[in-house]
Amino acid sequence: MSLQTAPRIAVLVPCLNEASTIAAVVRDFKSALPGCDVYVFDNNSTDATIEVAKNAGAHVRKVTLRGKGNVIRRMFADVEADVYVLVDGDDTYDASASPRMIDMLLDEGLDMIVGTRVSEEQAAYRFGHRFGNVLLTRCVSSIFGRTFTDMLSGFRVFSRRYAKSFPAHASGFETETELTVHALELRMPVAETSTVYKSRPEGSASKLNTYRDGFRILVTIARLFKTEKPLAFFSLGFGLCALISVLLAIPLLETYFATGLVPRLPTALLCVALMLFGAILLTCGIVLDTVTHGRTESKRLAYLTIPGPRRA
């Protein structure tokens, strides 16, 4: 965007019971990005997170709906800025990388930069989380095309037009998946850069449940697959129904050609029903694909109404 002054930078920090780390996060980002505004959005903390964040110099706001996705929805809606830096409040991300990420965003006219986590500390990035991240990232890549190597990173930089066009349907930790798919769907200019990932300080506990939240992310990927690529999604159902129908029909056809009889009428009816159901699924996919193209065009036009990021 053609800015006559320095871009307004907002650091957005979603928080839940991070009293032991939030002061360091606020301090480090204020030091790395002089003149930025740090916004801490508290998600019903039961410790002293709010008081510590205020004393550290952050703007504190409350979000009563539980879940990181609900917090991000409020952040993007309520905060006005030219560049948004999203970071977790657990003091595991390197604030000193943010100026480089912002420079990349402005110089190259990008809409999102993901801070890919690099860590030598086993405690910082446990094997289960690494494996799940790789698995889910590859799953999204196979469905939506080119993606990032660390889709679930909590450290990102956004342009204003990204933040104001993001639909924010997710409610929990699956929001990172939605952030990624939104950029891929609209074919936004994006990039990633390596950032140091530290272990949590003593006294800080992760809110992420590997299995529960991993399952929710998988469900979100399936939902986005159905919503954004309905023809491919329902074609899979059609192909499965057609395959089962043909496999069941082969013995019936062999018997019919040999004897002229169809002794297993229930199986024959099942074959017909499966093929008809598959045809219905395919028809749904074709219709919804047309609707999705229209919806995507509307989202793209809304996205283009906001100027892109540019140096002054």
- Which residue type is seen at 263? P
Are residues 237 and 153 part of one domain? no
Q: How far apart are CA 60 and CA 150, in angstroms?
A: 29
pTM above 0.85, yes or no: no
pLDDT tens for the chain, 312 residues long, are 344 578 899 999 999 999 999 999 999 999 999 999 999 999 999 999 999 999 999 999 999 999 899 999 999 999 999 999 999 998 899 999 999 999 999 999 999 999 998 876 555 455 556 667 777 778 888 788 777 888 888 899 999 999 999 988 888 878 888 999 899 889 999 999 999 988 776 666 666 666 776 788 888 888 889 988 999 999 999 999 999 999 999 999 888 888 888 788 889 999 999 999 999 999 999 999 999 988 888 888 889 988 888 776
As given in the structure block, the two tokens for residue 301 are 């036009």
**Which domain range does residue 190 map to?**
9-228
Q: Which of 176, 202, 228 corresponds to the end of one domain? A: 228
- Which residue type is seen at 134? V
Residue 222, in any domain of the structure = yes
| Residue of 104, 102, 194, 103 lying closest to 148 (CA atoms) | 194
How many independent structural domains does the chain possess?
2
Are residues 116 and 76 part of one domain? yes
Q: How far apart are CA 183 and CA 194, in angstroms?
A: 19
Are residues 117 and 84 part of one domain? yes
Q: Which of 228, 258, 292 corresponds to the end of one domain? A: 228
Are residues 156 and 260 part of one domain? no
Residue 133, in any domain of the structure = yes
Q: Which of 207, 228, 249 corresponds to the end of one domain? A: 228
Are the C-beta atoms of 168 and 178 separated by less than 8 Å? yes
Are residues 239 and 221 part of one domain? no
CA dihedral (86, 87, 93, 96) positive or negative: positive
Are residues 27 and 172 part of one domain? yes
